Structure 1
Amino acid sequence: MKKMTLTLVGLLALTASQFATAADYVLDTKGAHAFINFKASHLGYSWLTGRFNTFDGKFSYDAKNVGATQITVNIDATSIDSNHAERDKHLRSDDFLSTDKFPTAKFVSTKVTDKGEGKIEVKGDFTLHGVTKNITIDATKIGEGKDPWGGYRAGFAGTTTIDVADYDFKASWAGKIQLELLIEGIKQ
């Protein structure tokens, strides 16, 4: 009986240690250590690049159980910035984002798969322009560890491509948009 009790206590301790390693993180947008960038073809002649200046989010991450990761990112679509005020006004218009009707975009992960060697596949629901579609983000873990201020951080980079036709943009000729996500979270 004593041996069984010790085995049970050991098993419970091991199980508790597995759950204790999971941590919640908040995106470091205040310190400008997180970015959501985009790139789109301009008439097939060049690239238009830009970013969303205002967003927030959080994720739960455990390096020993990557599949349990959960991610939520909220994007202020009105904060689109292509470094050209008139173009940004057009991007906010009904031809594209219709930010007067749809001021926010959102991503919520539904499945995270550890592909090994720091590679991660993130599937989730992306809502843009009032339409929700499942997308896949190919991500890479950049690193994690203590920061100089006594905190703990984890960072990731990811890319995905969306087709504006899937999101009911009037300017469906705009084609595909590449999104680049550079995410650094601060452990809470």
Structure 2
Amino acid sequence: MKKHLLALSLFATALPTVSHAADYVIDTDGAHASINMKVPHLGYSFIKGRFNTFEGTFSYDPNNVAASTVNVKVDTTSFDSNHAERDKHVRSNDFLDVKKYSTATFTSNKVVPKGDGEFVIEGQLTLHGETKPLTIDAQFIGEGKDPWGGYRAGFSGTTRIELADYGIPVMGDASYADLELHVEGIRQ
């Protein structure tokens, strides 16, 4: 019996260790995450804004980045460019039509590591009632214990959306929006 247990334990230690992705909740309560956007204005400058209310989760394993997943839900009524009249216009049916489309979502379906902490996240963005593929260029910022006894991981990302792809009217040179994403998650 002892020989059988010894052989079984040796076999178990010879198996490769399997790592599992850790699950994180995006820290929006502590304002440690942001979804920012920039659109051209008349060819002279850019207008910047952000979505103040969103939530999401991600899974991440530094030993198997390809197994990572991302899910984010954005309250489009929370659009804020620090200018009340402009925000009212952007939220109107001229653009985001937040009365009809109050939520935007992103769900990843593939993460492609590029090396040196960089990767591409491919997924589906639903915005303004349209669902289209979206690719985000992302970068791992860091991970570790936080001062409150938790464990965090952080990332940044950029992407461009063509407004017409989502049925959002184009006005002048404002045919696209560049998104800048900063995500810090708390491990669950």
Q: TM-score, normalised by structure 2?
A: 0.93
Q: CA separation of 1:39/1:51 partners in 2, compared to 1, >3 Å: closer, same or farther?
A: same
For structure 1, the 5+ residue unaligned runs are: none
Counterpart-to-counterpart distance in 1, 2:186 and 2:29? 11
Counterpart-to-counterpart distance in 1, 2:10 and 2:114? 33
State the AA in 1 paired with 2:11. Answer: L
TM-superposed CA distance for 1:7, in Å, is 4.6
Q: TM-score, normalised by structure 1?
A: 0.93
For structure 2, the 5+ residue unaligned runs are: none
Task: Describe how 1:15-164 pairs up with structure 2 within 5 A.
Answer: 15=18, 18-19=19-20, 22-164=21-163
Structure 1, residues 100-138: CA drift from partner, whole Å, max 9, x if none? 110000000010011110101100100100001101100
Which of 1 and 2 has greater Rg?
2
Counterpart-to-counterpart distance in 2, 1:165 and 1:172? 10
Structure 1, residues 9-40: CA drift from partner, whole Å, max 9, x if none? 1255723xx13xx2110000000000000001
The percentage of counterpart residues that share the same residue type is 57
State the AA in 2 paired with 1:9. Answer: A
TM-superposed CA distance for 1:65, in Å, is 0.6
Greater alpha carbon shift after TM alignment, 168-177 vs 35-44: 168-177
Q: Conserved in 2, the CA contact under 8 Å of 1:94 and 1:170? A: no
Q: Conserved in 2, the CA contact under 8 Å of 1:165 and 1:172? A: no
| Count of residues in Structure 1 that have an aligned counterpart in Structure 2 | 184
Structure 1, residues 154-187: CA drift from partner, whole Å, max 9, x if none? 0000000000010001335420100000000000
> Which of 11, 22, 31 pairs up with 1:8?
11
Q: Does 1:187 align with 2:179?
A: no
State the AA in 2 paired with 1:177. Answer: A
